[in-house]
Amino acid sequence: MQKIERKRLSVADYRQGLRNHDTLILAQAITLVESQLANDQHLANELIQSILPLCGQSLRIGITGVPGVGKSTFIETFGTFLTQQNKKVAVLAIDPSSGKTKGSILGDKTRMEELAKNPFAFIRPTATGTALGGVANRTREAILLCEAAGFDVVIVETVGVGQSETMVRGMVDYFLLLMLAGAGDELQGIKKGIMEMADGVVVTKADGENHKRAIQAQADLQHALHLFQLAESGWTPTVSTSSALEKKGLEETWRMMEHYKNFTDQNGFFKANRQSQNNLWLEERFTLLWNSRLTDDKKFQAMKIDLQNKIAENKMTVRDAANLLLEVSKTLT
């Protein structure tokens, strides 16, 4: 692959491009906020600052589900449906592969092929190159950029490993769980705690022979979910079925989300949730900065290694060592 030199744009260039709904500029802006270079970081911050008034108007949807549930297919079908309702749809997919293999989900050409060609849609993988903290920060900024570029719906897809659901739940308005009908216990295979995070469930592949089972699963789940009323939002999660094959259940699914939006707008949770998500983001970003400050300090690192050795030799307790580290951390310049 040929490396293409990126033309150095100004904040005004980016801003104008976003206002013009230019997806090439949007893609470049996301690359900018993902960059670790000090110059880029500076520019990225200015850019985000300048677009803040344009942000916040989209519905941010997180989507999760076990492998095989048809996540990509659902997003493709549902996203296409939304564009037909005159909505602009951005999909941010957190891509676990690209960190290690430099591969990308978009390398897999069959994945969301239709949506990728749709002029009212934008698909972007976020590499998990570094720790999840960094990914969370970058994805949150990518959401803001998509909003500044006029997208009405921003879908964040989880990868279903580690803490990625919790991370995505912490940056979206609505968290959707995709499930398959059948296989006996509907709850099996779902990580503990995921069900409790969902604002809604879609039973996928509700077509052909599977249709009856999907309807049954929907009823069972709706019954079970009455136990899961979400304490903070006061919302009781709802369940729909969908078929990507027969393009069914998409409108119902969207209505479910609209109901949620109306309900939480009225009780104030929608806004309160975004605020507490921003507070969490601030905590995470501060911790990230603080940690890299410690990591970069040679005196602190040398001290830590010395203390680790003393602990290994049973000469010092972890309590004492931690207290000493705290004292050193206070003296860093």
Which residues of the chain form contacts with a second copy (CB under 8 A)?
A: 41, 44-45, 48-49, 52-53, 55-56, 137, 140, 160-162, 184, 188-189, 191-193, 275, 278-279, 281-282, 285-286, 288-290, 293, 304, 307-308, 311-312, 314-323, 325-326, 329-330, 332
Q: How far is the CB of 64 from a second copy (least distance, A)?
A: 12
Considering beta carbons, is residue 85 or 301 the nearer one to a second copy?
A: 301
Q: Smaller CB distance to a second copy: residue 30 or 250?
A: 30
Give the nearer residue to a second copy in terms of CB position, either 44 or 181: 44
Query: Which residues does 6 contact at the CB level (< 8 Å), separation at least 6?
Result: 28, 31
**Least spacing, CB of residue 113 vs a second copy, in Å:** 28
Q: Are 177 and 198 in contact (CB under 8 A)?
A: yes
Contact 122, 146 (CB under 8 A): yes
Q: Which is nearer to a second copy, 108 or 283 (CB)?
A: 283
Q: At what angle do helices 38-51 and 132-148 cross, to 10 degrees?
A: 40
Angle, vertex CA 62, rays to CA 56 and CA 68, nearest 5: 160
- Calpha distance 257→181 (Å, rounded): 21
Q: Are 165 and 197 in contact (CB under 8 A)?
A: yes
Output the smallest distance, CB 312 to a second copy, in A: 5
Beta carbon of residue 51, minimum distance to a second copy (angstroms, whole number): 10
Q: CB nearer to a second copy: give 20 or 323.
A: 323
Q: Cα 254 to the chain's mean position, in Å?
A: 19
In the bound state with a second copy, the residue whose beta carbon lies nearer, of 228 and 245, is 228
Q: How far is the CB of 247 from a second copy (least distance, A)?
A: 31
Tokens read off for 31: 């690359």
Q: How far is the CB of 286 from a second copy (least distance, A)?
A: 4
Which single residue is written with the structure tokens 């507490």?
A: 276
Q: How far is the CB of 184 from a second copy (least distance, A)?
A: 8
Please, what is the minimum distance in Å from the beta carbon of residue 12 to a second copy? 17
- SS3 label, residue 103: coil
Distances (CA, A) of 141 to 86, 217, 278: 24, 37, 11
Question: DSSP assignment of 13-33, as one string?
Answer: HHHHHHHTT-HHHHHHHHHHH
Decide whether 229 or 275 has the Cβ nearer to a second copy.
275
By beta-carbon proximity to a second copy, the closer residue of 100 and 290 is: 290
| Contact partners, residue 184, CB within 8 Å, separation at least 6 | none
Helices assigned H by DSSP within the chain: 11-19, 23-34, 38-51, 71-84, 97-101, 113-117, 132-148, 164-169, 194-197, 211-225, 250-266, 269-296, 298-312, 318-330
Nearer to a second copy, 24 or 231 (CB): 231
CB of 257 vs a second copy, minimal distance in Å: 24
Region of residue 296 (phi > 0: left; psi between -120 and 50: alpha; otherwise: beta): alpha
